[in-house]
Amino acid sequence: MEINLGHSAVTKEIYLDNAATTKVYPSVCEKMVEVMSKDYGNPSSLHMKGFTAEQHVKEARKTIASVLKVDEKEIVFTSGGTESNNMAIIGAAMANKRRGKHLITTTIEHASVYNPFIWLEEQGFEVTYLPVDHHGVVSLEALEKALREDTILVSVMAVNNEIGTVQPLDEIGALIKKKSPEILFHVDAIQGFGKIEIYPAKLGVDLMSVSGHKLHGPKGIGFLYIRNKVKVRPLILGGGQQKDMRSGTENVPGIAGLGEAVRKVFENFSEKQEQLYSLREQFVTRLERMDGVQVNGFAHRVSDVNLHQGAAPHVVSVSFENIRAEVLLHALEERGIYVSSGSACSSNHPAISGTLKAIGTEKKYLDATIRFSLCYDTTEGELNTCCEVLEALLPMLRRFTRGGRK
């Protein structure tokens, strides 16, 4: 069905909510079907079916370790990003509490990081929440002041899921290890892995969380990188799979699919990343020409090496003056364009963004912000169409609002 909006027409769906989830690659689906229908053995079984299933797990672990330039033994498969974050934060805190009970994180973390810290506070830990600047970059000065002799863990996300800001992980890691090599550094890389280069050993990262469905893999699978000799208390106890770190029969189809997704994403990675940055730049430039539009975080890619290019290549947070986010979201949806009004992971009932508050966003924009998120399959034509639809919609929706009908 073709929907006409003056000079603009949409004939197919345009999916710009890739920070919420991504479409699974066809080769990932094929790999998973192969495992489920042919190589369906339990990887703990001693017969050939079990051996074949175990080989799929080993192959995925090898692929991931190769991309990260780490040891295969340092990869633990989980059910996804939330479990990985909980395992890293709660597991590390509980395993190392004899050294101290002081923890550090930021004011713009995802709920799967923030809520474990709230729980740990209830268990007697002390948590320092670091501020960020108007771009969403963590204050290095505040971090340096916050580090103490009894600090045992610092957790900072690589890429903010709402505004796309990339944190200076190298400087954060250096500050932490300068204070004490024993302080653990956890990175929530769920929005960053597959979009920016992250090498844990180089950055001083001890723990790193990743989710499969953010990079064209299946839902319900992820992994946690745990640096060798780092103490983490397991959250799931049972049969002792994955060297007692995460008991339970491995999700072999999901693990195999994740391995295939990682392999495919990192093929010609630099070229794909540059192409995505180029598309984002064109998109933001056109958005900024529209009246009453504000891009949050870093609008453009920056060259300051300390800020790692400032913005991730796939997330664009945009506030629209005098238009409620939910109204605009559904108006775009009616025209075949799918976006988000914020993080899709915490609830399907939108709330005011803590990230937008933390970066000092004006009150009038807090309920007027849309997140557009791209992937490597996003096309210039799709973004141009999105802009054309916005150019037609915005004046109409603002007239509607000024008329007093909301």
The string of DSSP codes covering 142-210 is: HHHHH--TTEEEEEEESB-TTT-BBP-HHHHHHHHHHH-TTSEEEEE-TTTBTTB---HHHHT-SEEEE
Candidates 29, 345, 386, 387; catalytic one: 345
Q: Are residues 347 and 381 in the same domain?
A: yes
Q: What is the pLDDT of residue 347?
A: 46
In a domain, 69, yes or no: yes
Q: Are residues 10 and 88 in the same domain?
A: no
Tell me 214's DSSP state: G
Contact partners, residue 190, CB within 8 Å, separation at least 6? 81, 84, 85, 110, 157, 161, 209, 210, 211, 214, 222
In order along the chain (406 residues), what is the average pLDDT of each group of 10 residues?
45 92 98 96 93 96 98 98 98 97 96 96 97 94 97 97 94 96 98 96 97 98 97 94 92 98 97 95 95 89 55 95 94 97 54 79 86 97 97 90 50
Give me the amino acid identity at 362.
Answer: E
In a domain, 317, yes or no: yes
Give me the amino acid identity at 5.
Answer: L
Q: Are residues 252 and 277 in the same domain?
A: no
Q: Are residues 186 and 286 in the same domain?
A: no
Q: Are residues 136 and 228 in the same domain?
A: yes
345 in catalytic set: yes
In a domain, 217, yes or no: yes
Domain boundary among 217, 235, 265: 265
Rounded to whole angstroms, the Cα distance separating 173 from 202 reads 9
Q: What is the pLDDT of residue 401?
A: 67
Tell me 352's DSSP state: -
Q: Are residues 69 and 190 in the same domain?
A: yes
Q: Are residues 139 and 156 in the same domain?
A: yes
pTM of the model: 0.92
Q: Are residues 315 and 238 in the same domain?
A: no
**CATH number of the domain that residue 252 is part of:** 3.40.640.10
Rounded to whole angstroms, the Cα distance separating 33 from 46 reads 23
Q: Are residues 225 and 283 in the same domain?
A: no
- What residues make up the domain containing 111? 26-265
Domain boundary among 265, 292, 325: 265
Q: Are residues 200 and 112 in the same domain?
A: yes
The string of DSSP codes covering 59-108 is: HHHHHHHHHHTS-GGGEEEESSHHHHHHHHHHHHHHHSTTT--EEEEETT
Q: Is 223 helix (H, G, I), strand (E, B) or coil?
A: strand
Q: Taking phi first (over 0 means left), then psi (-120 to 50 degrees means alpha), and beta for anything else, what does residue 81 get? A: alpha
**How many independent structural domains does the chain possess?**
2
In a domain, 304, yes or no: yes
Which strand (E) or helix (H) includes residue 36? helix 26-37
Residue with tokens 């799709």: 382
Domain boundary among 265, 295, 327: 265
In a domain, 21, yes or no: no
Structure tokens at 121: 């506070």
* Contact assessment for residue 260 and residue 27, using Cβ atoms and an 8 Å cutoff: yes
